[in-house]
Chains A and B, each alone.
Chain A
Amino acid sequence: MSETRKISLTVNGTHYEETVPVRVTLADFIRHQLGLTGTHLGCEHGVCGACTILLDGHSARSCLMLAVQADGHDILTVEGIAPDADTLHPLQEAFRDNHGLQCGFCTPGILTTLIEFLRDNPDPTEEEVRIGISGNLCRCTGYQNIVIATLDAAKRLKDSPVPAPRGSQRTPA
């Protein structure tokens, strides 16, 4: 029998009270227990970045955290980026318009990484973007269009700012 714990946390603005086995990773909890399968699992050992979420506004690999560690914290996943079901976030629009994805497997991790990146650095250089996404692997695009999309997103956000996604701002731990 696996040891379990009760946890309460906020994901994309929704409050959850859940019981989890203590050995379950945050990534598996988000996917299997909350049913939010937008967070992808590639390598499951902290290399590929596909499972990146924001924890209290800071990007983190959800495969490298236990779900119990998220007790009391605020989480943003890719599902929480768009303002509503019919509207894309400017970052997502920029990815669509610039072919910033092909198969889309790495995209959730790249988008969450970039939400934090562009919040902290709204006017990045190409070099800074490349370093910013260096923790995310993409096997389709060769990164070129991801970089172009990110620079485009920075411009769009500057021209017409949108409210920050719920859970994307830094909150005290």
Chain B
Amino acid sequence: MKPPPFSYHDPRTVADAVGLLGSLENAKLLAGGQSLMPMLNMRYVLPDHVIDLNRIDGLSYIRANNGALDIGAMTRQRDIEFSDLVRERCPIMHEAICQVGHRQTRNRGTLGGSLCHLDPAAELVSLAAAHDAKVTVAGKNGTRSIDFSAFPVAYMTPALEPDEILTGASFPCWPAGHGYAFIEFSRRHGDFAIVSAAVLIEEDASGKVRRASVTLGGMGPAPVRASEVERALAGEVIEEKRMREICESLRKLDAIEDIHAPASYRQQLATVLPRRALLKAHERIAERARR
């Protein structure tokens, strides 16, 4: 298996990359290559030009920025996995990224590549939805910011103009002491999730939920925020029976059907995984209080 013939470009700056993207016909951006390279090897994609982003300086960083974590598009998944700052400020990201592929793919795979490839079951895509992330993109007219909720426009299609490049994402952090859990169901460790649940919760001093974020991945073309459940959780104390009731409503969500699972199976998972994630998130708050 060999990639098809193409011209190779390795710009050193974002501006050069944007320039190439705007002037070349049928060009494809190469980030970590963990999705594009298999597609090239199998000739699912036949670009005339490959623009390699790996030699651009300044797109790999993890920085605290006021109440948010800013992460560069070319930051390797491995660097996110082993970042103390991520564990401290955005612990769910650590938990999720350990479930992304394998060590060998995380060493190369990038945040930006995953967000732009936009696989419906990708952990980082779900995480960006769960965290109300904003992505920054650069084009010939400068940069703009897009709410992640508006980023997926269709199946594996991000809201990028043809000459735009994603340069980074900003994840608003939840307050210290929040509860979190990322749980996914897949047949083998490292596979894409059949369904995943990302949960963030904040509780008040009496243990009642003040704010909740509940996201399901793998159900449709883009992650789904379970806003009805988020609202229903407000003021609730998290315990098994009540969570079972609240999460039952998620069975109504639309779900895709594919070789991995029928829709009804995904809908069943949609009631189970968020409940488990909520209980785990709550348990983490309780555990911290006991220490």
Contacts and interface: CB of A to CB of B under 8 A. Distances in A.
Contact of B2 (A5, A28, A55, A59): A28
User: Helix, strand, loop or mixed for chain A's interface?
Assistant: mixed
A49 B188 CA distance: 15
Interface stretch (B21-29, B102-110, B159-167, B261-269): B102-110
B8 interface: yes
Interface extent on A, as a size class?
A: 20 to 34
User: Helix, strand, loop or mixed for chain B's interface?
Assistant: loop
Contact of B8 (A49, A66, A116): A66
Contact of B5 (A3, A69, A131, A134): A3
B38 interface: yes
Interface string A41-73: 000111001001001001111011110110000
B104 A49 contact: yes
Interface string B26-58: 000010011001101110000000101010000
Contact of A22 (B6, B33, B188): B6
B6 A113 contact: no
B3 interface: yes
Q: Identify the interface centre among B1, B103, B189: most chain A CB within 10 Å of its CB.
A: B103
A113 B1 CA distance: 23
B207 interface: no
Contact of B107 (A45, A49, A58): A58
B101 interface: yes
A25 interface: yes
A46 B6 contact: no
A113 B106 CA distance: 13
A98 to B, nearest CB: 22
* 5 A-B pairs with least C-beta separation: A135-B102, A22-B8, A45-B38, A64-B37, A58-B107
Interface of A: 2-3, 5, 22-25, 28, 44-46, 49, 52, 55, 58-61, 63-66, 68-69, 113, 116-117, 131-132, 134-135
